């Protein structure tokens, strides 16, 4: 099953909303530090409502610590970025994919993008809009991945 990875998330409500999406889809959520908030942050908990017991949450102190876990488990690292090279709707997802998203302010750092097997983007029609909200981007991408893999039947 695909997994969601947030690298250096900064805004607690976004992470809480993503945790709720992961809980609803039984998707593992990996948080890679440093984080812009405490895991116990009340805004984080409020956004996730009472679904935290259903979140398969993993915390990694750094990208290097996360990479050790990824190497043990295997699978492709798919970095989502406004500068990605492949449209996510045309990409063929696989069961063991890791969907990586960067911080709300800076996106994925270069050292993380450099280890990705592919970089994907979500097409937007208005060039004046820099990016979508992080929680929206995760939901769009995760559900397309799940649709392709037959999880939405």
The secondary structure of 90-148, three-state, reads HCCCCCCCEEEECECCCECCHHHHCCCCEEEECCCCCCCCCCCCHHHHHHHHHHHHHHH
Query: How many angstroms separate the CA atoms of 83 and 81, rounded?
Result: 5
Specify binding-site residues for S-adenosyl-L-methionine.
102, 122, 131
Query: How many angstroms separate the CA atoms of 134 and 137, rounded?
Result: 5
Specify binding-site residues.
102, 122, 131
Spell out the residues 6+ positions from residue 37 whose beta carbon is closer than 8 angstroms to its own.
9, 10, 11, 12, 15, 43, 44
């Amino acid at each position: 099953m695909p997994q969601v990875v947030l690298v250096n998330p900064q805004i607690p409500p976004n992470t809480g909303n993503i945790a709720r999406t992961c809980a609803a889809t039984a998707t593992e959520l990996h948080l890679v530090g440093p984080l812009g908030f405490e895991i116990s942050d009340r805004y984080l908990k409020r956004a996730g409502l009472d679904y935290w017991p259903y979140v398969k949450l993993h915390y990694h102190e750094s990208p290097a610590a996360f990479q050790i876990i990824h190497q043990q488990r295997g699978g492709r690292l798919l970095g989502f970025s406004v500068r990605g090279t492949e449209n996510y709707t045309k990409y063929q997802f696989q069961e063991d994919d890791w969907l990586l998203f960067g911080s709300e302010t800076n996106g994925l750092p270069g050292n993380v993008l450099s280890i990705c097997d592919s970089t994907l983007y979500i097409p937007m029609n208005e060039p004046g809009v820099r990016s979508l909200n992080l929680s929206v981007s995760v939901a769009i991408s995760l559900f397309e991945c799940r649709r392709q893999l037959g999880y939405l039947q």
